Structure 1
Amino acid sequence: MVPSVLHFRMPAEWERHACTFIAWPVRGSMCFPENYRQVATGYSQFASAIAEFEPVTILANPEEAGTLEKIYQGKNVRVLSMAHDDSWFRDNGPTFLVAADGQVGGINWRFNAWGEKYTPYDRDDRLAGMLLDSFNLPRFNAPLVLEGGSIHVDGEGTLLTTEQCLLNPNRNPKESRETISALLKDYLAIRQIIWLKKGLSGDETDGHVDNLACFAAPGKVLIQVCEDPSDENYTVTQENLAILEQTVDAAGRKLEVIPVQQPPARYYRGKRLTLSYMNFYLVNDGLILPVFGGEAAETDQAACDILSRTFPNRRIRTIDGTAIISEGGNVHCATQQLPAGKGGNKR
């Protein structure tokens, strides 16, 4: 039986969390394994920043779990030994749900490493189901390849995604837009899907929406924009901005759209990095924001100001957004929230 029939829904990220999950980076699966120490430092910074607001659970491969337990002992962080191939837990982990009675469950999507871009990924494909079973949470196995970074919800029946990712033939080549839409509605209790077009330049996830736009509240959406016609993100962001300005949510509300200027373009080994302020992560009473420094100082401050006004009751906690960006993502990609509710006791 699908989750929506059992009155489960995907909550908004701003709803209370029991904890945040992070999967520790795996040197062998990195794009640039020589940067492992820098990336591991970045993940450590994420964990420490998030732990200022809520408990953190780090999933570590068995050979690293003992060392990490010693490092994080007594720091509002616990370590679980759980095998994985890659560290982007937003994508290879479960999407957590909450039922009307407060029961927490989760979706075990199929995972194919962003359209089979990396191998192996068999342990990642099993990871979500293993975690849900480990925490004795109801598990819903979805017949759909999907990464968590490709969707955002408002908790009231509206979902944001991109055509570039969800309709990409490297994910679900035999499924139509109508079938994918129906499955999203069944598994996430969604009534309205807002289909944006493409994601940002350099994003090898094929346009994950969590680099592009997100809900700030029901009826309110933040979107990263570019106003330079010579920049390859100009057409992409202006087209998506127009879609948001012309649509309504599941409650029939016209959206309040808040633009955030993108940071200046930055490159690593000839490839544009996907710098995004939209890859922030909401924690209990706070917001973890990647900033990029240097020539981005002005846009960093502007993003902080906009987010402070948008979330006046949250403390904005900035982190070094350059620490792991060469690997293709940032703090939102690396995290997944466990909603507060009933259940979720580790066996």
Structure 2
Amino acid sequence: MATHTQPQPHNTHFIPAQHGFFFPAEWHPHVATWLSWPHTEASWSSERQEKMFPAYIDFIRTISESEQVCINAHNETVIQTAKMRLLMAGVDLSKVTLLPNPTNDSWCRDHGPAFLINPTSKERLIVNWEYNAWGGKYPPYDRDSLIPVEIAHYRKLPYVNPGIIMEGGAVEFNGKGTVLTSRACLLNQNRNSHLTQAQIEQYLCDYYGVQQVLWVEEGIVGDDTDGHIDDTVRFVNEDTVVVATEPNPNDDNYPFLQEIRQELNEMRLVNGKQLNIIELPMPDPVISEGQRLPASYANFYISNGAVIVPTFRCAKDQTAIDILESCFPDRKVVGIDATDIVWGLGTFHCLSQQEPAID
């Protein structure tokens, strides 16, 4: 990395945005996708974990068809177990890199690194946000909080430490200066209670390289993250979003999603344009042991070659796939049954973090 922009781990005064760094949109070409292999009962009991692995491995296989998959694996035993499962499922191991990075849980979107790029200088860096497992809900999280630095060392990339809590699922980018997020999450007292909304906006602008922060109010029922945006609103190109929609006024999600839809109507992008808004249905409620789970088609993941959509064994699955096919004509849209995965309170976007390439 060029010395004139080289940040040092201890240098809290390096502001990435001031040096041309930004977080690109998810459809920007990837070097790899990062995952953290499930190995504990933190999110799935042993029985549930066995049921979710076929879909999880199908997810890995689909990503690996167009890019490398890098997986944080807790220890050598986990690495060998993962290799065995992948081989038995016919996954090409040359497209998978298993690294001995200890983890507490599997939600790499939130504990993984935020990769920034600078297309002008052809440089990359990692933002090492603080992490507290969604407001301290699921200790321990000490290993997960170290993952960005472990990956920075592995990739030989510099990193910066903003010093505040942030999660990848809480922010959604169009790659052209805009980030979407929710007040329910980022303004929650269990994250950064010492910061005002304006101060959080400044951190987002400084460390993600955006020019504006657009806020919705809430998330969906069953979401233990306090309202991550990746279950409700996603950019599909720089001026178009899909928004989760619930037409049934008796459904618990109805008022929250109606409010989000109205908020989106009033938003304007950096260039003054109004958002193009495409409605994406919510699946039928997914209930487990009396608990409503945060099932949402909006939790899709965009890889180099595919858009991978969680499905939930209901009639709306194909409708959601059809809508997303119209949004991504350059990629195949693949539905994978996430009914057993969502028991862990997240699906494919929550499990993954992209590593962008430099143009």
- What TM-score results when the alignment is normalised by the length of structure 2? 0.91
Residue in 2 that maps onto 1:253? 273
Correspondences of 1:1-347 after superposition (within 5 Å)? 1-62=14-75, 63-72=77-86, 74-75=92-93, 76-100=95-119, 101-293=121-313, 296-297=314-315, 299-341=316-358
CA RMSD across the alignment: 1.4
Deviation string, structure 1 residues 109-167 (Cα, Å, up to 9, x no partner)? 10001000011111111111111122111201122101100000000100010000000
Alignment deviations for residues 255-284 of structure 1 (CA, whole Å, 9 cap, x no partner): 101111111112101110111100000011
Q: Deviation of residue 69 (structure 1)?
A: 3.4
For the residue of structure 2 that corresponds to 1:170, the secondary structure is helix
**Contact 2:230/2:299 (8 A) holds in 1:** yes
| Equivalent AA in structure 2 for residue 287 of structure 1 | V
Unmatched tracts of structure 2, length 5 or more:
1-13
Distance 1:337 1:121 in 2: 21
CA contact (8 A) 2:40 2:104 kept: no
Task: State whether residues 162 and 208 of structure 1, in contact with CA within 8 Å, keep that contact through their aligned partners in structure 2.
Answer: yes
CA distances 1:30-83 after superposition (whole Å, capped 9, x unpaired): 253431212333321211121122111111111311332355464321211110
Aligned to 2:7: none
CA distance in 1, matches of 2:358, 2:330: 22
Q: For the Cα contact (< 8 Å) 1:108–1:129, is it kept in 2?
A: yes
Distance in 2, matches of 1:323 and 1:312, equals 29
Secondary structure, counterpart of 1:121 in structure 2: coil
Rounded Cα–Cα distance in structure 1 between residues aligned with 2:171 and 2:44? 24
Indicate conservation of the 8 Å contact 2:112/2:148, yes or no: yes
Question: 1:260 and 1:155 mapped to 2: Cα distance?
Answer: 22
Mapped to 2, the partners of 1:165 and 1:33 lie a distance apart of 30
For 1:310-346, what per-residue CA distance to the aligned partner results, in whole angstroms no more than 9, with x for missing partners? Answer: 111210111112131000000000001111129xxxx
* Contact 1:72-1:78 at 8 Å conserved across structures: no
1:24/1:43 contact within 8 Å kept:
no
Q: Secondary structure at the match of 1:110?
A: coil
**1:284-314 CA deviation, whole Å, 9 max, x = no partner?**
1321111111xx22x1111111111111121
Checking the alignment, whether the CA contact within 8 Å between 1:263 and 1:276 is kept in structure 2 is yes
Stretch of structure 1 that moved more, 125-134 or 322-331: 125-134
Give 1:345's aligned residue. Answer: none
How many corresponding residue pairs? 339
CA 1:4–1:24: 2 relative to 1, 3 Å: same
Whole-angstrom distance in 2 between the partners of 1:127 and 1:34: 27
Q: TM-score, normalised by structure 1?
A: 0.94
* Unpaired segments ≥5 residues, structure 1: 343-347
Higher fraction of strand: 1
Moved more, 156-165 or 52-61: 52-61
**What is the CA–CA distance in structure 2 between the aligned matches of 1:176 and 1:27, rounded to whole Å?**
36
Instruction: State the alpha-carbon separation in 2 of the partners of residues 124 and 340 from structure 1.
Output: 24
Would you say the 8 A contact 2:63–2:305 is kept in 1? Answer: no
Q: Distance in 1 between matches of 2:340 and 2:286?
A: 14
Q: Deviations over 1:70-113 (max 9, x none)?
A: 55464321211110101000000111110132212111110001
Q: Structure 1 142/33 Cα, relative in aligned 2: closer, same or farther at 3 Å? A: farther
CA–CA distance in structure 2, aligned partners of residues 266 and 86 of structure 1: 22
Q: Whole-Å Cα distance in 2 between the matches of residues 41 and 71 of structure 1? A: 9
8 Å Cα contact 1:93/1:127 also seen in 2: yes
